[in-house]
Amino acid sequence: MTLQQLKYMIAVVNCGSINEAAKKLFITQPSLSSAIKELEAEVGVELFIRSPKGITLSVDGAEFLGYARQVVEQAALLEQRYLNKKPSRQLCSISTQHYAFAVNAFVNMIQQSGAEEYEFTLRETRTHEIIEDVKNLRSEIGILYMNPFNRKVIEKMLRENRLDFHPLFEAEPHIFISTQNPLSGRRFVTLEDLEEYPYLSFEQGEYNSFYFSEEILSTVFRKKSIHVSDRATLFNLLIGLNGYTISTGIVSADLNGDNITSVPLRVDDHIQVGWIANHQLQISKQAQVYVQELKTVIRSSGLALLE
């Protein structure tokens, strides 16, 4: 077993395919495939499951990857200390539902890294894809919410995919609206107050189940409903159409400007947001930094952490 083989395996996981990893490593696809198969033969386990749809980590592969990352990180530290090599390129991938605080924490992580070279990825994506990303280690961490309605379904999916949910905070539901909306400034609103306003939500593609909705109360009928795919469009429509969406109440003026405000929504429900990760893996140091930045942003918003 060589350090190069471990680096090859990590590259395949990061890229999601042998072809893409081979391009990034500037070697041929057959050479990379051969190196991975030799590593599997040497350790005596199947690290990857190969199918017509592509390549994914096996259960044994996920455990092996955790050790491989630690070895490669420690080797890089030795090279920096004794061979005067420059720090290795920092890597970290995050998948998240559409939360401004997740972006704030990502910005802070990059600013704190001080790295000369890095390759970070932030995917604001659909709920099912977040779980798939973390399951297949395309992302180290996923950020999503659970509430009494979707908890059993989400927890079942996490168990089946060997993922753990780490609660960050619990919030009362709020609506996000334009500061020019007639409801702006109210102490709270009810569902009845919202009946005549367009409801905005994030579309979930082929997994468009109520349980995968990013917004609570997904089964409530609305006379006017608009589905969008990105946060910028949603906020533009909040302003242009006097629409509303439902979320945690954490608004970022730095990212969203001063045109959006939050108002408490009086319903018998709550939102618990947390991060998910592979049960068998210790997340990288960079991912650990991101989690700490998440906690800092949440504290600064006035919410209590669930620790």
Please give the average pLDDT of every successive group of 10 residues along the chain, which has 307 residues: 90 86 91 93 91 82 83 78 66 91 94 81 94 87 96 95 95 95 95 96 90 94 94 92 94 75 95 92 87 95 88
What DSSP state is assigned to residue 81? Answer: H
User: CATH class for domain 170-271?
Assistant: alpha beta
Closest CA to 13 of 202, 300, 278: 278
Cα(212)–Cα(204) distance, rounded to whole angstroms?
A: 7
pLDDT value, residue 257:
65
Q: Which of 289, 254, 233 lies closest to 120, judged by CA?
A: 289
Q: What's residue 222's pLDDT? A: 94
Nearest of 282, 238, 250 to residue 97 by alpha carbon? 250
How far, in Å, CA of 9 to CA of 36, rounded? 7
Beta-ladder partners of 142: 95, 276
In the chain, where are the structural domains located?
1-88, 170-271
What pLDDT is attached to residue 89?
63
CB 141 within 8 A of CB 291: yes
Task: Please answer whether residues 37 and 49 qualify as being in contact, where contact means their C-beta atoms are separated by less than 8 angstroms.
Answer: no
Distance CA 84, CA 98 (A): 41
- Any bridge partners for residue 202, and if so which? 228
Q: Rounded CA gap, 1 and 38, in Å?
A: 9
Strands 118-124 and 90-96: parallel
Quote the pLDDT of residue 67.
Answer: 83
Q: In the CATH hierarchy, which fold is given to the domain comprising 1-88? A: Arc Repressor Mutant, subunit A (1.10.10)
Q: Which amino acid is at 67?
A: Y
Sign of the Cα pseudo-torsion (80, 118, 110, 163, in order)? negative
Distance (Å, rounded) from C-alpha 232 to C-alpha 227?
13
List, for residues 187-224, the tens digit of each pLDDT value.
Answer: 999 999 999 999 999 999 888 889 999 999 999 999 99
The pair of three-digit structure tokens given for residue 165, joined into one six-digit string = 């949910």
